[in-house]
Amino acid sequence: MTLKTDFLVLGSGVAGLSFALEAARHGEVLVVTKRGVSDTATSWAQGGVAAVLSPDDSLDRHVQDTLVAGAGLCHDVVVELCVKEGPAAMRWLIEQGARFDQAEGGELDLGREGGHTERRVAHAGDATGREIQRSLHQQASEHPNIRFLEWHMGVDLITLTDFGGPDRCVGAYVFDERAGEIHTVLARATVLATGGAGKVYLYTSNPDVATGDGVAMAYRAGAEIANMEFYQFHPTCLFHPAAKSFLVSETLRGEGAVLRLPTGEPFMAAHHEMADLAPRDVVARAIDYEMKRGGYEFVLLDITHKPRDFVMERFPTIYERCKGFGIDITAAPFPVVPAAHYMCGGVTSNLWGRSSLPGLFAIGETACTGLHGANRLASNSLLEGLVFGRRAAEKLASEIAQLRTAPHPSVPEWQTGSAVPSDEAVVVSQNWEELRRLMWNYVGIVRTSARLRRAARRVTLLEEEIREYYWKHLVTRDLLELRNIQTVAELIIGSAASRRESRGLHYTLDHLTSDDAWIADTVIKRGVPAHLRDRR
C-alpha cells in the first residue's frame, strides 16, 4: 500500500505535534507513531519548560546559563534564538490548552532546576510532559488535516537522486506492526521527531520507544549526525527492582533535596560549588564516583526537611509512585542511581530544522541543533521541541506551494524477497541484552580509550550478526529496534573515541582536561569517519 501526504511526521511528542499543528494550516499531515500517540518521552517529562517568563529574569541570563552548561560547544546563534522565542512558544502552548501551575495572583509558579541561576521553569506539578502531551494531542486529534497512524514504525527513509544531483528524501517505508506489513509513505517533506535513544543503555529513564530510530534511519540515508558522544545521564532514577525507568526529577533538588551517601553524609559540596544544584553531568559523575569509591549500589536523596504537605502537593506523581513501592519520601531519604536520559547529539539541523539531506527535517531530541552543546541545561529540551517544531513548520509553509508543483515520484513497493518468519527470536533478545550491557559498562558516565576500543570491536561483530539476521527474516518491531540501537551504539562509540578530551557529558580518564582545540562538533556521515567541524 502506498500513502501520499504533504508532510510526514515520524514521532508524536512535543516536537512532532507542535510541527503538525502549525503545518496542518498549510497542508495534509500524516503522523506516524510506533505505539500510541501518547507513548512518548514527552509524556514522561516531569520537570518543565525553561523560558524567561518573569520580570526578575532576563534573556541574557537564560542564554548564559545555557552556554555554561554546554561547556563551550553551544552554537551561540541557536541559543540566543531559542531563548528569545521561548516566551512566545510558551504562550502558544498555553493557547493550545496546556495548564501550568500558578502562584497566588495568577502568575505562573516558576521553579528552579540545576544549572539555572533564576526561577524560570514552568511546570504542571511533576507531570509537565503529560500535560503538554494531553493538550497537543487533543488539538491535533480534532484537526481535519492531521491523520495518525498508530502502531506503525519507520523502517527506512526513501531517497531518490534527480538528474545527477544530491539524494533527496521523499518519504519512508513504515512497518504496520498489527498487520505485519510494510507500507510506502510519500511526502513532500519528511520530519524526524522520533525522540532519543536511551534504550541503547542498560539503565535509562526513557520509555521503551526510545531506540534512536530517527538517527539510525537518517544515518543510513546519508544525513550528517553530530555530537553523539554527549549522552546525558540523569543523576536520579529510583533504585528499586520493580521501579522500571522511574525518573526522580531534579526539581526535588531545585526545591532543596540533598544527595547523601548511604551512611548519611551529604557529598555534593565536595564536587562542585553549586553542590546539589550543580549541572547534571557533574552530579551524575559525582554519584558514579561515590558509588564506586564506597562500593554502594545507590545513594540517597533526602527531602525530609521540607513540610510533608509541600512535598505531596509539589511532587504528587513522585510521592505516589514511590509510595506504591513502599517508600515514603517525606519520612526518610530514598535510594537513587544515575540512568541514561537525554541524547544531546543527533541529526544535524539548521535554524529551521532542515537536515543535510534535502527533503528531510529533524526536530526535538532527534536533532542536533547546537542548543545543548556538550551538556543540556535542565528543561531546555521541551523548549527546543516547541521552538524548532514551529520553526520547521513556518519554513515549509513558505515552500509547500512550490513543492506541490511536482508530482510525488514513483518508487518501488517494499519487497520481502526470500525473507521468512523468524524461527530463532532468541538471537534478537540475546543481542539486545548484550549490546545494552556493553554500552553501560564501556561507554557510560566515565570512559577510557581501552573500554571504547573493546566496545567498538564487539559492536562490529554484533552488527554483522544483526545484519545477517535482518536480511534473512521478516521484520518485527524488536528486530527493527535492535538494528537501530546497534547503529546508535556505533555512532556513540565512534564519536567518543575521536574526542580526546573531557568536556561536558564526555568524560574520559585518559584525557581529563578540556582543550580549546576541541571546541568543534564531532560529525559522522555514512562512509565518512568521525571528524571535527567548527559550526559556531
Residue 164: predicted pLDDT: 63
Distance, in Å, from the CA atom of 501 to the CA atom of 513, rounded to the nearest integer, reads: 6
Residues 77 and 156 in one domain: yes
Residues 290 and 164 in one domain: no
Biggest CA-to-CA distance, the chain = 70
Coil, strand or helix: which one is 322? Answer: helix
The label of the residue with cell 530544522 reads: 353
Closest CA to 491 of 464, 467, 460: 460
Q: Name the grid cell of 171.
A: 518519504
pTM of the model: 0.91
In the Cβ-directed half-sphere of 379, how many Cα atoms lie within 13 Å? Answer: 34
Q: Domain end: 310, 340, 370, which one?
A: 340
* Amino acid at the residue 410: S
Q: Say if 383 falls within a structural domain.
A: yes
Residue 200: predicted pLDDT: 97
Residues 20 and 153 in one domain: yes
CA-CA-CA-CA torsion sign (24, 30, 31, 37): positive
Is the CB of residue 34 less than 8 Å from the CB of residue 100?
no
**How many independent structural domains does the chain possess?**
3
Q: What is the mean pLDDT of each run of 10 residues along the chain (536 residues)?
A: 96 98 98 96 91 95 96 96 97 96 88 88 92 97 98 97 80 96 97 97 91 98 97 92 82 93 97 90 90 92 96 93 95 95 97 97 98 94 97 97 92 88 84 93 94 96 92 93 97 97 95 92 93 75
Residues 390 and 430 in one domain: no
Closest CA to 367 of 155, 488, 218: 218
CATH no. for residue 267?
A: 3.90.700.10
- Looking at 112, 188, 253, 280, which residue is catalytic? 280
Distance, in Å, from the CA atom of 523 to the CA atom of 532, rounded to the nearest integer, reads: 6
Q: Say if 74 falls within a structural domain.
A: yes
Residues in the chain: 536
Residues 459 and 514 in one domain: yes
Residues forming a β-bridge with 339: 234
Residues 201 and 266 in one domain: no
Q: Which domain holds residue 255?
A: 236-340
Residue 535: predicted pLDDT: 58
Q: Say if 246 falls within a structural domain.
A: yes
Residues 436 and 393 in one domain: no
CATH no. for residue 116?
A: 3.50.50.60
Q: Say if 468 falls within a structural domain.
A: yes
Q: Name the grid cell of 442.
A: 564501556
Residues 336 and 356 in one domain: no
Q: Say if 415 falls within a structural domain.
A: no
Element housing 301 (H / E): strand 299-302
> Catalytic residue at 280?
yes
Closest CA to 389 of 217, 140, 156, 171: 140
Query: What's the alpha-carbon Rg for the chain, to the nearest Å?
Result: 22
Residues 514 and 454 in one domain: yes
How far, CA to CA in Å, does 530 sit from each of 359, 491, 492, 533, 536? 24, 8, 10, 10, 18
CATH no. for residue 443?
A: 1.20.58.100
Residues 336 and 349 in one domain: no
Residues 163 and 288 in one domain: no
Residue 50: predicted pLDDT: 96
Residues 209 and 256 in one domain: no
**DSSP assigned state of 504:** T
Q: Domain end: 312, 340, 368, which one?
A: 340
